[in-house]
Amino acid sequence: MGILSYAGGLGLISLTVYIMVIGRDLLVPFMISIAIWYLINILSDYYHKITLGKWQIPKWLSYIASLLTIIVVLNFLIGMISSNIAEVKEAAPLYQENFSKLTVKIFNIFGIDKEPNIAQIFNQINLGPFITNLAGTLASLAGSASLIMIYVLFLMLEQKYFDVKLGRLLAGSQHKETVFSIIDHISTDVKTYLGVKTFVSALTGGACYLVLVTVGVNNASFWAFFIFLLNFIPTVGSMLAVLFPSLLSLVQFDTFTPFFIVIASLVVIQLTIGNILEPKLMGNSLNLSPLVVMLSLALWGSIWGIAGMFLSVPFTVILMIIFSQFPKTKPIAIMLSQDGNIRPRDSVMVED
């Protein structure tokens, strides 16, 4: 019986992954809309806390203000992406040419008259298709903005009925309180992650934008937004956020000085915000193992591409919280955690 249960579980997991892969075009915009819906609620909570004397912003007004804020920001970002994509695609061949010249210049600096075999490797690096593909990905997301906003509006309309429907669905069940506790726990941790990550990513992107503008890097606003997005990808995203603008400055200018300024400044910004500010704001609310974060990044990235990388941490947090509620799956939650300690509010488990 145990073998049949494990086989059934494995089959269910395989079917779920298959559906997620073939339904990617439908599911990815929906998951992004859920993330935006969470951001609207997070921003609404912050607005609701604002007081002017004895007057406090009503909940309904804070909700409308947060929705309008998100719409304005999204419109600005879509317009910025659309205006920069053509310029980035046009500049791609020039960057490739400058990159080839740069390899020759590096060899001359070291007194190498005849380019070694490694030069052939450098010549095989084609930046044009990569930059074009990157711009195309962002353009695709911008094109899905209307569908995403429709999903967000329907989530907002349904929001007040979620608890009512779930309460009636679980009426008379002995696990009703536990289910609500799990959902509340998931909501709290995901809101914490999205709220803090959005703030620190925006702060990082803004600081990097000032550096890129000061140095004179082309399309600074585009690359600053790109840095903002990459910071949602754990570990790897921060490294790529430093690498891409630095390489751009390397192939854009004739001297190495802008490159050293950009890479040094961006590294300092990433280390300061990512290793000092973010841990203080995030605290131990997620308690995920760094190895698990990297594995989930690879897993969700293989299923949903770049969008899966953005969503890898929230998905893993949700799975860890759910696994911690059942005796048979609690060991999995312990393995997913950073220190093996499941918090007190995770310890109320559902008996199988």
pLDDT in tens, 133-146: 555 555 666 667 77
What's the confidence (pLDDT) of residue 207? 93
Rounded distance between C-alpha atoms, residue 229 and residue 205, angstroms = 9
Following DSSP, what letter does each residue of 173-215 receive, concatenated?
Answer: -TTHHHHHHHHHHHHHHHHHHHHHHHHHHHHHHHHHHHHHHHH
Where are the alpha helices (H) located in the chain, listed in sequence order?
2-22, 24-48, 59-109, 117-124, 127-143, 145-158, 162-169, 176-215, 220-230, 236-252, 257-272, 278-282, 290-323, 330-336
pLDDT lower than 70: segments of the chain:
1-9, 81-83, 85-143, 283-286, 340-352
Question: Which of 339, 335, 333 lies closest to 349 in space, CA to CA?
Answer: 333
What's the confidence (pLDDT) of residue 204? 92
Neighbours of 238 (CB within 10 A): 23
Rounded distance between C-alpha atoms, residue 171 and residue 153, angstroms = 28
pLDDT in tens, 95-133: 666 666 666 666 666 655 555 443 444 444 444 454 555
What's the confidence (pLDDT) of residue 214? 92
What are residue 45's phi and psi, to 5 degrees? -65, -40
Rounded distance between C-alpha atoms, residue 39 and residue 269, angstroms = 24
